[in-house]
Amino acid sequence: MEPLNDTLQKKPMTDLINIAMRAAHEAGQVILDIYESGDFDVEIKGDNSPLTRADRASHEVIMRHLTNLDIPVLSEEGREMPFAERRGWQRLWVVDPIDGTKEFIKRNGEFTVNIALVDGGRPMLGVIYVPVSGELYVGSTEAGAYKAVIPATSSCLDFESFAASAQTLPRPTGDRVFTVVAS
């Protein structure tokens, strides 16, 4: 596999962002169809976490977008990959097809589609899409971070148009300290 820099020279960062944005948005559309149908087909995984038909469908959509890029994909809903197989990966896509499956099942709208490109243990780009609200967050080390509302019916997503109409993040907050919360 080529070094990431070679891959990026052939495929600019904005192309990779566009692919991730489209993957997340299309996955969000599939998720919303299932969300609105109420037919979730819930199973319990080995770690006692839920898995729905929407998790699987979102994973399939995202994989269709990312697998032809010659960058391995580590997805929460993908096949289990032993550390020995992943150990040598310097760059990879990290995907959670639905972050917040329990919230999806509760139907409270608080779930996201998450896609990130990591190189050498450092994030290079990230896309977070909130299907229920249409909020799309996009950030990269080269381009900065942005937020906009993208309707589920939107059919054309490209980073340049998105960034031109999006809110730049973080917004100026003066001397306010940021607090980061994780669960």
Pairing of strands 91-99, 73-75: parallel
* Mean pLDDT by groups of 10 residues along the chain of 183 residues: 46 90 96 94 90 96 94 88 83 96 95 96 95 95 91 76 85 66 65
For residue 76, the model assigns a pLDDT of: 87
For residue 156, the model assigns a pLDDT of: 67
For residue 18, the model assigns a pLDDT of: 94
For residue 153, the model assigns a pLDDT of: 73
For residue 172, the model assigns a pLDDT of: 60
For residue 80, the model assigns a pLDDT of: 79
For residue 102, the model assigns a pLDDT of: 95
Q: What type of residue is 152?
A: A
Residues with Cβ within 8 Å of 75's Cβ and at least 6 positions away in sequence, in order, are 59, 62, 63, 93, 94, 95, 96, 97
Q: What is the pTM of this model?
A: 0.85
The C-alpha angle with vertex 156 and arms to 141 and 74, in degrees rounded to 5, equals 50
